[in-house]
Structures are given as C-alpha cells and as structure tokens.
Amino acid sequence: MQLGELEKLVLQYLWSEKVADAKQVHSVLGQTRANSLNTIQSTLDRLFKKGLLSRTKQGHAHLYRTKVNREALLAKLITNVTSDFVEQGEHSLIAAFSSASANLDDAQLDKLEQLIEQQRKLRRG
Amino acid sequence: MQLGELEKLVLQYLWSEKVADAKQVHSVLGQTRANSLNTIQSTLDRLFKKGLLSRTKQGHAHLYRTKVNREALLAKLITNVTSDFVEQGEHSLIAAFSSASANLDDAQLDKLEQLIEQQRKLRRG
DNA sequence: ATAAAAACCGACAGGCAATCGGTTTTTATA
DNA sequence: TATAAAAACCGATTGCCTGTCGGTTTTTAT
C-alpha cells in the first residue's frame, strides 16, 4: 500500500486533531496546498477504503478518525515494504539495523537499548 | 523509491548470483514469469538508474552487480517509507523500532541487543 | 418545500512499473 | 575489413495509483 503526499498530510492532521470532517481538513491543509474541498474528500475516502480511517455520519458530514496510530502505521508500512526480502522468522528491522548501526551515534545506541529494556519490562508485566 | 515485483526478483537473483548479464537473468526469471529479454533489460536499467545496481561492460553485454546488500536496502526502504512520519533529528530506524518493538519476540530482542553491544565494542576499538 | 451542504460519481493528468517491437551500436570473425 | 549476430538503446503502450475537480444526487435543517 502506497501513500501519497496528501494522504500523509491528512493522516498527520487527523492524528493531531482526533476527529475532523472534510471541511475542517480542507480549511487547514488548503492553506499550504491549493486543494479543492473535493480533493480532500477523495483523499479521505481513499484513506477510508484503505482501512486507515474510520468514519461516522454526523449531521450531513462524515466525521473521520484515524483507525491506526502512528506507530501501528509505521509498523505496517515497514512490513509491507520489506516483506518480500525477509525470511520466515526474521524481522526486517533487525536485519536493517545490522547494516545501519554504524550510522548511529552513541546516544542513539543508548536510546535503542533503553527501548529494548522498556519493552522487556512491559513483558515481565 | 518504489520497487516493482520484477525489480525485487531481479535484486534477489543478483544477491544470490553476485554477477549476471541480462541474458542470464532472463534465462532464470523467464521460467517463472513470461518476460522478454527486453523486459529484463529495462528492469536492470531501471535498477541501475535507481543506484541499486552497478554495471560494467564485458564483451558486448553489461554485467550487473548489486550495489547495496540486502540489509542496506532494507534500511533504505524503511527510512524512505517512514521519513515523512519521523520528527526532525530522530533516526527513522529508531522511531520505527519503537513502533514495532511489540512485534518482536524475546529472541529477536536479544539479537538486537547483541548487535548493539557488537557495535559498541567496535567503537571502543 | 426548499435551499444549502455534503456526499457521490466519473473523468482526466501525471508518475511509475512492466512490457516489448524496432533501430542502432558494438563486437567477433570470416 | 565487411558483415552477421548480439546486445544496448529508444520509444511507445498498458495498467495502476494519487491528485485533482466539475457536475449530480442525496441529505438535512429550516
């Protein structure tokens, strides 16, 4: 699943605003990008069809919400883009890390270690 | 950078074979997919233009080699697909890790920690 | 009932991968 | 060195996806 520029902007907006209708999204994104309201509606609809947004009717407008948070989307995108290259039982992030570790500075290594520890704690309950 | 199905197959073939010309690639991939030699040539050329392959002339054929290994490509793809969602100054792989850490099993967490330690040792000299 | 608001539908442009026919260039060799 | 074969190169087409929006239908508030 490929995400276009506008789709990404809309997702980010909805992560920050929680809920919005097309008009609201348009009023904000229309300031940086010259989009018609229809363009925003199409984009919202495409994201909805991709399963990334949910929507409910409120009055005569759809209210859109994100259906996945940023972390879940990142995980999904990563899986999509790498799945053809990873073996069963292997995780793409770990494979990638082995090639990218040299580019991380000490602080980033620390950070990563912290994240691992944090995850371990979570599992111990 | 978006990779198509055939492009992925070609990359995987070249990771396993190290070096090949269009004819060789075609003779192998042509068994599963019905491609003309020209199709393979186009694909090799596109991968070359994307910087994923290098090539040298040998006789009247280009010999292609991968320019990035699998791990480096994974890192690149992950960075590409996540970068629009990652804050300035944050390393996308680390951001990605915090998104996906819940999907890693204990052994994978161990493995990652080992890789970090290994990198640390390397730096200490 | 009606006007306004929004959804819905359909179309088109632009970009990219896959595809391949036809032409030009290169090279080995007769 | 002329030539045939091999491969590169060029250009065109198809199909898919995102962005774009005009026009029509549906919904709703008054």
Which pLDDT value is given to residue A108?
95
CA distance A39 to A34: 10
Tell me which of B30 and B44 has the higher pLDDT.
B44
Determine, yes or no, domain membership for A85.
no
Whether residue B39 sits in one domain with residue B89: no
CA distance B15 to A108: 30
Determine, yes or no, domain membership for A96.
yes
Which pLDDT value is given to residue B43?
98
Whether residue A55 sits in one domain with residue A20: yes
Which pLDDT value is given to residue B58?
82
Whether residue A59 sits in one domain with residue A110: no
Which pLDDT value is given to residue A59?
79
Interface of B with A (CB under 8 A): 2, 8, 12, 69-75, 77-78, 80-82, 84-85, 91, 93-104, 106, 108-109, 111-113, 115-116, 118-120, 122-123
- Among A8, A96, A109, whose Cβ lies nearest the Cβ of B84? A8
> What is the pTM assigned to this prediction?
0.93
Domains contained in chain A, number: 2
Distance B52 CA to C28 C1' (A): 31
Whether residue B55 sits in one domain with residue B77: no
Mean of pLDDT values over B8-25: 97
Q: What is the pLDDT of residues B47-87, one digit of tens each?
A: 999 999 999 988 789 999 999 999 999 999 999 999 999 98
Sign of the CA dihedral B112, B117, B123, B125? Answer: negative
Q: Where are the beta strands (DSSP E) in chain A?
A: 19-20, 53-58, 61-66
Whether residue A100 sits in one domain with residue A56: no
Q: Which residue is nearest to nucleotide D19 (CA to C1')?
A: A39
Whether residue B60 sits in one domain with residue B41: yes
Domain boundary among A30, A51, A66: A66
Mean pLDDT taken over chain B: 95
Which segments of chain A have a pLDDT < 70?
none
Q: Which domain holds residue A62?
A: 5-66
Exposure string of A10-22, with b = 16+ CB inside 10 Å and e = fewer, is: bbebbeeeeebbb
Residue B111 has pLDDT above 90, yes or no: yes
Domain boundary among B66, B90, B115: B66
Whether residue A110 sits in one domain with residue A61: no
**Are the beta carbons of B85 and A119 separated by less than 8 Å?**
no
The CATH number of residue B55's host domain is 1.10.10.10
Instruction: Give me Rg for the CA atoms of chain B.
Output: 18
Which pLDDT value is given to residue B125?
85
Whether residue A55 sits in one domain with residue A9: yes
Residue B88 has pLDDT above 90, yes or no: no
Whether residue B83 sits in one domain with residue B48: no
**Are the beta carbons of A116 and B106 separated by less than 8 Å?**
no
